Amino acid sequence: MKIAIDGPAGSGKSTIARALAERCGMTYLDTGAMYRSVTWACLRDGVDPSDLAAVADTAARSDVRFVREKDGSQRVLLDGEDVTAQIRTPEVDRSVSIVSAVPAVRALMVERQRALAGEGDVVAEGRDIGTVVFPDAEVKVFLTADPRARAHRRAVQRAGGDAAAGVAAEVDPEQERAILEGIERRDRIDSTRETTPLRRADDAHLLDSSDLTVEQELEQIMGLIAAAR
């Protein structure tokens, strides 16, 4: 079974996809981490993100692997180096949508994502899973939330809290504003790029998480999975 979780930046896809994979005993595929790793490789090698040929070449040479830890967490290796933390930096946030818009990069990533998933059961999260990577996925969810709610969750997360788990943290309003701007910019580029922009598949279930707890979201999706089985 393939489960596709798509949606804009900060909509909570990772939390949901990871929890679903664990509950259902499926493989978790974080496709955003793959685009982020290629972006990190460009920054590392001094490649200008707007130089299409150089970006495509960097993507082709990059070796991105996922390593699952015993506690269920996942590390990302780029050319053998642990880049789990580096791919979440503001520098990568700023360039990742530019790199991801390069058609050759997308074609390559889709190919690698399908190879990683193989014939097994997978929960994949991204922007084009239900439309391009696994158009035949048995369950498709388009997860969204108000941009302010998404920015607030991210800001709490960066300050060491966890809004979903009710763990509070002191949030700097300036930082939250900057996060909101970054999220809106990324959404704009991701949904207006020419090649496979972010869009809800016609058969995807729309889930607005603005006023839902993680548990409520999971319950709804588990219902869809049960119905598809």
- List residues forming the annotated binding site: 7-15
Q: Tokens at residue 220, please?
A: 């709804």
- Amino acid letter at 217? E
Between 110 and 221, name the residue whose CB sits nearer to ligand C5P: 110
Between 49 and 126, name the residue whose CB sits nearer to ligand C5P: 126
CB 28, min distance to ligand C5P, A? 13
Q: Which residues bind ligand C5P (CB under 6 A)?
A: 9, 31-32, 35-36, 96-97, 100, 126-128, 186, 190
Q: Tokens at residue 55, please?
A: 């970006």
CB 141, min distance to ligand C5P, A? 14
Report the b/e string of 189-213 with b at 16+ CB within 10 A. bbeebeebebebbeebbebebeebe
State phi, psi for 151 to the nearest 5 degrees: -65, -40
CB 67, min distance to ligand C5P, A? 18
Between 32 and 161, name the residue whose CB sits nearer to ligand C5P: 32
Between 112 and 170, name the residue whose CB sits nearer to ligand C5P: 112
Query: For residues 92 and 39, is the Cβ–Cβ distance under 8 A?
Result: yes
Q: Tokens at residue 144, please?
A: 């969204």
CB 69, min distance to ligand C5P, A? 19
